[in-house]
Structures are given as structure tokens and as C-alpha cells.
Structure 1
Amino acid sequence: MRAHPAGPRHGEIPADRTSVVPADLNDLDPAVWPRGARRDHGVMTLAGNDVRDLAALYGTPLLAMDEQDFRSRCHDFADAFGSAADVHYAAKAFLSSHIVKWLTQEGLSLDVCSGGELRLALRAGFPPERIALHGSNKSQHELEMAVEAGIGAIVIDSFDEIGRLAGISERVNLEAGTVNGSTRRIPVMIRVTVGVEAHTHEFIATAHEDQKFGFSLAGGDAAEGVRRIVACHGLELIGLHSHIGSQIFDPSGFEVSAHRLVVLLKSVIADHPRLAASITTLDLGGGLGIAYTSADTPPPVDAMAKSLTEIVERECQVAGLAVPRIAVEPGRAIVGPGTVTVYEVGTIKDVNLDGGVVRRYVSVDGGMSDNIRTALYDADYTVVLASRSSTAPAARCRVVGKHCESGDIVVRDCYLPADLAVGDLIAVAATGAYCYAMASNYNRLPRPPLVAVADGTSRQLLRRETDDDLQLLETW
């Protein structure tokens, strides 16, 4: 069963999934497109901005982000989970200085997983106490930077990391002791591999045993990790963390994960009673899904929040424990739906397939350098003609990029108007997460600009790279 758009588990090329011609090729499904997407006299507008004007001003390919869409989804999560929970935006989905400022203003917390993400957040003024640092191989420098900044939590991922942090804590406290004799404890969480594998792609399923993240629950490593953390007087264990995968629509995986975390918590408190006061948070991770196509049916945020909250409350009641704060880490679910990639059509080629079937290859001026997800995960996307509407019949198409790679596919199977022409603009929906964040300079293509649109105006968040930018690292 294909559970989500990341595709089959081993990356094999699937059977053609395009079987139903859309009733209206000009339709913009509100479940898929940004909240500010419309058609005005047939032309797509984004938060009141004509895509033709955006393309003329910034060039193509172009990523356009609806600022109000992003902010409204921050509100949705904050309101749905309420004051008894912490909503952490997952920076890995996409991060820029402006995103950091929006998150600061909207009151969300932030998860980072590298020194680069942490530096950007701090430089942009994000409150360090609302930052958590993830990562399976944090360097000594990254850990020192996090401790020096006083971030809210470091999510420990290995025994080696406990040792590194113990050394940093000892040094920090020695230095502090020479001044005023104060003792400082570093707040940490422990990432637990709970043995729950969400129905997801092999490469982004992160809680089964055979993978690089966290401490195994079944193997006893999680309990041993807790014991070692408790033995380090400079570390304070404030929570248990898990993450069960990505693009999840069904809360049942979270139910099993929460049950196992609560069982572990009960055991930990039984062995170390003082931790009953310090372990205040159960972090269920991220992975909440979005609609890439009209066939996707993610639950509303408030429904998922209600499910997760009730799951934790029920499990704690059964275990006889006080209910801790819940933390969640949406990234894709906040930034994914509000961004559209606009391309210009450059080449159109009809290819005759077996049985007299014709597939039209529509080549655009970007590709796998600005969206690797189709090549990497066999992801599905929705695409429409954006610079005009059309009443022409549907043509079976494959949207491909300009890279010298047969796997350079943006949308594998879709229908576009038969009168699509060179120079037309097409738009691909839901490209806010893991597109720019995973972009490359393959074939030495510069990364596209990312533009925020709001109330009929636009501004660059990230400018287009130039050839001069690509030459900067050359030593000649």
C-alpha cells in the first residue's frame, strides 16, 4: 500500500498513477494550493500577485511563499495544541532569517539540527531558550555553541554525545566556579527509538530499530542512556523524545509511540524518583502530513492535536503518572502548503509509448536542482498552467527539468492542457518543504530566488544565485 507521496519503499519506478483526467484543468484545489491562491481572469494570483508579474520581476524558476499562509498555519498549530503544549517548527524543512523572525513573532519554538541552522536562528534574534538542537552526530563545536547560547534543550542521540556533553559541562562549571562558584546544568532530552515504523518511505521512516537515530528501547539502550545522563551532575534530563516518520496522516502510530514512551517514563521515575520533577515533556516529534494532490487527505490540525493530547492523557492515567507537557515538531505541515514553484516551459516533446499511448514531455527551466523529492522519493505533485487558463482538452504529460539526468523529473504523471506552449508558465504546488532546503547546484545551475507574497506585494527572502556566486569557492 502506498501510504503517502514519498512513494514505494525501495524506489522502484511505479506503475502509471495518472488514471483520472481532472474535471477542470484550471481548478485550484484549496486543500493543495496556498490559502491565497486564486485565478483572476484565468491567471493564477498568489496573495494578490499575478504570477506573470512575479516571473517578469524575479525570473524563473521562482519559489513564491504566501506569508499569511505560513503565519496562519503557525496560528493553527498554536491554537490547536494550546498552552499545555509546545509547538516547535522543524527548521530542516526550510529556514531563512525571515522565517526565523516570523516564528519569533508568532510565538513558536524552533528545532535545529546543525550548527548552521543554530547560527542562523541566533543571528536572526530567535530566543535561545525556545530552541532545541537535534542531530545524530553533533560535533564538539556544535554542542559547545548550543551550551554557550543557553538553548532550551539538546536532544541526545548517542552514548558518545553524553560523554561529550559531560566534558563540556565540567569545563563550563569549572570556569563558572572560578567566578562565583555557581553550578550550571545543561537541559537535555533523550531520543528514544520506540520501534514504531510509520507507513512511510524507507528513507524517511525514522523510528524502526535498524537506523541511525536515537537509543533503542527494545535493546535497553534508552534505559542505559537515562542512567548515564543521571550520573552526570551537569546534565538535567527534562524530557523523552521520539519521531516515527514523515508525511503521516493516521495518529495510530503516535498512539503506540506515546504508550511506549509513557511505559519508559514510569520505569525511569521508579528507578530515579527525583526525575519525576525534572522530566516535564514528552516530545512526539513531527511528521504530520500535507496534501500534495487532491487524493491526499491529511486530518485537520485540530483533530490531530486532539488525538495526540488524548493519547498522552490516557496513557499517563493508566500508568498513574502526572500528564507532562506535549511537544510536537511540525515543519512540512507549516511551510509546505504555502509555497508554489513557477517554471517557464522551454521544450515540448511527444513520445509514442506502447499501445499507441502518447506521453508529452514538458521541459522546464529548473528541475531536480530545486526539487529533488521526485527523484529521491518518487514524490507526487500537482501542477497547473498558471499564466492563463485553457479550455483545450487534457494531454497526458510528464514535467521534466533541464538537467542532464534521465531521472530529472518534477511531476511524473499529470494532465495539462493540450494547447500548452513554449513560454507558458506552469506552477507546482506545495513546494515549501524540502525543496529549497535540499536544493543543489547540479550542472552548475544557480539556486532560484524565494519570494514572499502578501497583500498584492512581493519581496525577496532569498535572492537568485548568480554565476559569480558559484565561482566564489574556486581557487583558480
Structure 2
Amino acid sequence: MPSNPLAPSWLSVPDDANALVPGLWSRTVARSDGELVVGGVPVSELATRFGTPLYVVDEQEARERAVEVRSALQDALARVGSAAKVYYAGKAFLSIEVARWMADAGLNIDVCSGGELAVALAAGVDPECLGFHGNNKSQAEIERAVSVGIGAIIIDSVQEIDRVAAAASRRGVVQRVRLRTNSGVHAHTHAFLATSHEDQKFGIALADAPDAVARIRAHESLEFLGLHCHIGSQIFGAEGFAESAARLLAVHRDLLAGGDVPELNLGGGFGIAYTAADDPAPIGELAQRIAETVAAGCEELGIPLPVVAFEPGRSIIGTAGLTLYTVGTTKDVLVSYQDDAETAVRRYVSVDGGMSDNARPSLYEAQYSARIANRASDAEPALVRVAGKHCESGDIVVDADYLPGDVAPGDLLAVAATGAYCWSLASNYNYLGRPAVVAVRDGEARVIVRGETEEDLLARDAAYEGVKG
């Protein structure tokens, strides 16, 4: 079957529009009698019990992936004579249950707000295993982090040094800190030769790090752990990490003259596949290349290997999640192309969620993949655009994919790889309640985050009590 001329160049017509592209779905997802089953639970059962839209998280996949990522990084650093400290980036998706899964898998956890800190503490995570990020931590957040004995605070600005030092001094403790810097490496564009003065809100220029570290060391209530840098997200190769590490190590060496620098934090950003066109390197390969680069850099500089810290999030939880929707309407639209000389049909498939449960396509033009979930079909593939129900023309869930041409109202649609940055970015736009999050494992399903009802939304309106009364 020829491709639709409206399809992007990376999208091919599938031989089977029911087939699940390897690497996009959690490893327990399969078809049984045509229906998708995840974690041993048929999607029709999930939709009946919990409704749609619905976030579904494969607990087994999340737990196993956490162990795999941690082991890959620790093993790679061990082979070069060092060690790795692995933090789960809670901003990707954090709940009490997920925090417990990560702790069980031997990961530390990064938080970047008082709310995320509260979730991690409610999960029973040892505060020593937490790192606190953020470019504008409030005084209350700093005080609470210090008071609970947080393992590390990542200093993001010069002003923050004195604030954290004062909070620690008031409690008579020594607070461990890292310093976030900008290495000038832009992983999104592979512009590795960019200047170190990046135009962004996070961190300080690498050239300013020595003065900032001297200021940290001047406070008896602070202990400097090392430099931190995060070069971006959805990174498929090791080149950016290698270049960033080389730049950081040069400064790291100079800082050793003034005292210990036990760690080097290279951040996170390891990518996952969202479409068949995505080809991220395996985590073991990335880990080994990064470890070898750090080891070679330290040998060349004549310095001891530091402990290397990482902060993966998406690469752990992303593929473990999928979102279930119910199709409401379908609509064929005749679209002109080639300077209006030709036309082709794009089918719009509208579902009962949208940008309120997945903001990434609207924010970043992110691409996703979908499949009819409640049945298989032998209909010819048709190019579709999955749209949400919000009052915005940009409310797109899946920009382009091929589904069986008989996709129809009432079908369940599953969108792959929605475990990261979907629930955590969700909103109540158009007064839609945020969907529930359901964990599945070994044929069982349970709610781990309750969905919002209209009553929940109205309860926040100060005038509602008068209306009710």
C-alpha cells in the first residue's frame, strides 16, 4: 500500500496496523484474541473498571527498568575503577507508590519542589537518599530540606549559597551541596562547541564555578560534593555526555587544589523510543561509553576518579506507561499539498482526553504512537491524527500514525510511552479532571493516584459552598 503523501517522511505504512512496534511498549504488553493486555490485564477490563482517559503503569516494567538502568551505570563505572550514584528524576512521574518502587530498586530520588519532597517523605524514602533541585527554591523549601536531613541540595545560583548555609547553621548541621553549572553542551542540537554562557535559567556558567565553590567552602555549615550539569533530555547517544564530562573535569581538577571533590554529577536525559523512527542507544552501551570517557579524562588530567552521579527519569518510567482513550468521533479531512495542486485525506480521530493529560505534543511537538486496543482489524491502514477534545486547534495527542481504516467511535485507543511527563504535566484545562493512574501487575490492577471528579474541581471554587447551600 502506498504511503499517504501527508505522512511525515519518517512514518512508513505498516504491514500490519495492529502490530506493536518493539521498544515502544512495556514488555508485558501483548495482544490476546486481538485485544491488548498489559500486566496480564485486558484493556477492556481497565476501561470498564476505571473509565477513560486512564494512565496505566506497568509496575513490573518500571521496577525492572529501574534495576536495569541502575545496574548498567554502576557496573560500567565499577569496570573503570569508580562507582555510580543513581537518582530517579521524580519530575518525570512521582507518586508514593512509584517512589517506593524506586527505593526498592536501590535508587536515590531527585525532587525539585516542596510538594515532590513531601511525596518522597510520605513514601518513607530515607531523606539521605534525596537530592533537591530547583532554580528558585523558596526559603521554606530550603528550611524543610535541611531540617529533614536531605542528602544533597543542588545549588543553582550564587544567592542560594548563603541561604542554604544560613539554614544549616541555624540547625547546627553541615549540609552537603552540589553546584549546578552549564557546560555549554547542547544535546538537543549537538552544538557541542557552544559557549559556556548558556541562555537558560538553570545553573551558573562553568567559568564562574571556582568563585562559587570558594564561597561554598567558606561556610562551615556546607560541604561541597561536586559539580552538576544537565545537558538536555531525550538524548540518544553518548557524545554530548562525553563532551560535557570533559569540560567539567577540567574545572573539577582545578577545584581539587582547594579541597575534596568526591563526586561528578552528569545529570540525566537518556532518551526512549516514542515512534518507530526513534533509535536510542541501549543504556548499557551509553553507560560504558560515558564511564570510559570519564576514566580517560581523569587519567589524562592526572586526577582520581570521582563517584559519578546520574539522574535518569524518562528512561525508567516512560515506556512503563500507556494511556487509554475512547474514540468519540472520526472525520476525514481533504488536505491540499504541492502548492494546492494535489489533495489527500487525513483522518482525524478524536478521543476523550487530550492536552490536559498529555501536554508534550502541544509544548514540544512531541511525537507519539497509537494502536486500537480493544480489537484487531484486517482493514487497510489509514493515516490518522489523534486529536483531543479541548477547545484548541493545537490539541493533538498523536500527530501522525497509521491505524486500521475501520477505526470507529467506541474503540479503545492506546498511546504508547506516556509514563513520563504526562501525568506530571497534566492540567484541568476546560475543567477536565486529571485521569486516574492505575498500576497493573500479574493480572491485578489497582489505583495508585485517584482521578479527579467534577466535585473535586468545584470544591476548589470559593463560591461553590454558597451554590451548594
TM-score, normalised by the number of residues in structure 1: 0.91
Q: Distance in 2 between matches of 1:206 and 1:369?
A: 37
Q: What count of residue pairs does the alignment treat as equivalent?
A: 444
Q: Which residue in 1 is equivalent to 2:147?
A: 148
State the AA in 2 paired with 1:54.
L
- 8 Å contact 2:36–2:375 — kept in the other structure? yes
Contact 1:338/1:430, CA 8 A, preserved across alignment:
yes
Amino acid at match of 1:240: L
Distance 2:391 2:430 in 1: 8
Instruction: Report the Cα offset of residue 170 of structure 1.
Output: 2.6
Question: Secondary structure of 2:188's match?
Answer: coil
1:86 counterpart letter in structure 2: K
CA contact (8 A) 2:372 2:414 kept: yes
Name the counterpart of 1:323. Answer: 305
Which amino acid is the alignment partner of residue 157 of structure 1?
D
Residue 317 (structure 2) aligned to one of 304, 327, 335: 335
Q: Distance in 2 between matches of 1:423 and 1:328?
A: 43
In 2, Cα distance between the equivalents of 1:305 and 1:207?
Answer: 25
8 A contact 1:136–1:213 mirrored in 2:
yes
Q: How many Å apart are 1:201 and its aligned residue?
A: 11
Separation in 1 of the partners of 2:70 and 2:162? 36
CA distance in 2, matches of 1:114, 1:103: 18
The reply to whether residue 129 of structure 1 matches residue 128 of structure 2 is yes
d(CA) in 2 for partners of 1:366, 1:358: 24
Change in CA separation of 1:336 and 1:208 when aligned onto 2, cut-off 3 Å: farther
Partner of 1:268: 255
> 2: CA distance between counterparts of 1:324 and 1:201?
26
Q: Contact 1:292/1:429 (CA < 8 Å) preserved in 2?
A: yes
One-letter identity of the residue aligned with 2:400: D
Report what 2:14 is aligned to.
Answer: 22
Aligned residue identity for 1:153:
A
In the alignment, structure 1 residue 352 sits paired with structure 2 residue 341: no
Give 1:227-376 correspondences, 5 Å limit.
227-270=214-257, 272=258, 275-276=259-260, 279-354=261-336, 355-376=342-363
Q: What amino acid maps onto 2:225 in structure 1?
A: I
The one-letter code sitting in structure 2 at the alignment partner of 1:122 is: L
Counterpart code for 2:205: S
* Closer, same or farther: CA 18–307 of 1 in aligned 2, 3 Å: closer
Note if contact 1:290-1:296 (Cα within 8 Å) is conserved in structure 2: yes
In 1, distance between residues paired with 2:290 and 2:196? 17
Aligned equivalents of 1:211 and 1:464: distance in 2? 35
- Which of 207, 211, 222 aligns to 2:200? It is 211
- Aligned residue for 1:446? 433
Letter in 1 for 2:183: V
After TM superposition, list the pairs within 5 Å mapping 1:404-415 onto structure 2.
404-415=391-402
Shift of 1:472: 1.9
Check if 1:32 corresponds to 2:32.
no
Q: Secondary structure of 1:399's partner?
A: strand
Task: Summarize the alignment of residues 65-214 of structure 1 with structure 2, pairs less than 5 Å apart.
Answer: 65-82=57-74, 84-173=83-172, 184-199=173-188, 209-214=198-203
Do the aligned partners of 2:30 and 2:36 also contact (CA within 8 Å) in 1?
A: yes
Structure 2 residue aligned with 1:62, among 46, 54, 59?
54
- Report % sequence identity: 51
CA distance in 2, matches of 1:19, 1:116: 40
How many Å apart are 1:166 and its aligned residue?
2.2
Structure 2 gaps of 5+ residues are 1-5, 337-341, 464-469
Equivalent residue, structure 2, for 1:181: none
Which segment is superposed worse, 163-172 or 281-290? 163-172
Once the two structures are TM-superposed, the CA of residue 199 in structure 1 deviates from its matched residue by 2.2
- In structure 2, C-alpha distance between the alignment counterparts of 1:282 and 1:143, rounded to whole Å: 22
For the residues of structure 2 that align with 1:431 and 1:287, how far apart are their CA atoms?
16
Once the two structures are superposed, residues 257-293 of structure 1 have per-residue CA deviations (whole angstroms, 9 ceiling, x without a partner) of 11111100111112x1xx23xx211110000000001
Cα distance change on mapping 1:147 and 1:19 into 2, 3 Å: closer
Indicate which of 396, 414, 418 corresponds to 2:405: 418
| Contact 1:206–1:243 (CA under 8 A) maintained in structure 2 | no
Segments of 5+ residues of structure 1 without an aligned counterpart are: 1-13, 174-183
The Cα shift of 1:206 comes to: 13
Measured in 1, the distance between the counterparts of 2:437 and 2:142 equals: 31
* Corresponding residue number in structure 1 for 2:467: none
Q: Which residue of 1 aligns with 2:39?
A: 47
- Contact 1:70–1:335 (8 Å) recurs in 2: yes
- Deviation of the 1:30 alpha carbon: 2.5
Report Cα offsets for 1:410-466 as digits up to 9, x if no partner. 011111111111100110000000000000000000011110010111000112110
CA contact (8 A) 1:283 1:327 kept: yes
Report deviation, 1:19: 4.6
Aligned-partner residue type, residue 224 of structure 1: D
Tell me the secondary structure at the aligned position of residue 91 of structure 2.
helix
1:189–1:239 Cα contact (<8 Å) kept: yes
